[in-house]
Amino acid sequence: MTYEMPKLPYANDGLEPVISQATIDYHYGKHLQTYVNNLNALVPGTEFEGKSVEEIVATAPDGGIFNNAGQVLNHTLYFLQFTPQPNKHEPSGKLAEAIKRDFGSFDNFKKEMNNASTTLFGSGWTWLSVDKDGKLHITKEANGSNPWRHGLKPLLGFDVWEHAYYLDYQNRRADHINKLWEIIDWDIVEKRM
């Protein structure tokens, strides 16, 4: 199996001003490409050959294969959850019902997601995930980890590595997180559920 770059459903400048073309060119075009290339170089001849990135993330020990598979999975979910022209600014349907049930309200969910994202020390990801019983969870994942590692299915992820926001927001991680809400494709997030 060869791991490939996800195809963006928007132009490299399509998420401006929330995420600039320069950031997409660097973050997607160079950073993610490096993880894909590394994974393709590391997996052949190992027990992970022929396995999906989800399978690798769920079962690989810490190290190069896990780190690169995690970042391929994380970035693929991240880049594909955005749209230049959201048709709604809040989820609807089953996802909205689950958010209300598990977090009290959409506003409270946003507050908890923002808090988790801004308080994660160092590099990593904040995820909204669902467990096998349908309960939603917000988790902080260090470095390249992903909720798959803990038996959860990721639905929405915020990249809080500095490379995700430094060109556009410098050290203002909270500003970056607040702006991401403007470009989320809630239909994609709900389909993941």
> Annotated binding site, which residues?
27, 75, 159, 163
CA distance 63 to 19: 30
Question: Residues annotated as binding site for Mn(2+)?
Answer: 27, 75, 159, 163
Helix/strand/coil (H, E, C) string of 131-185?
CCCCCEEEEEEECCCCHHHHCCEEEEEEECCHHHCHHHHCCCHHHHHHHHHHHEC
Tell me whether strands 136-142 and 153-159 are parallel, antiparallel or unpaired: unpaired
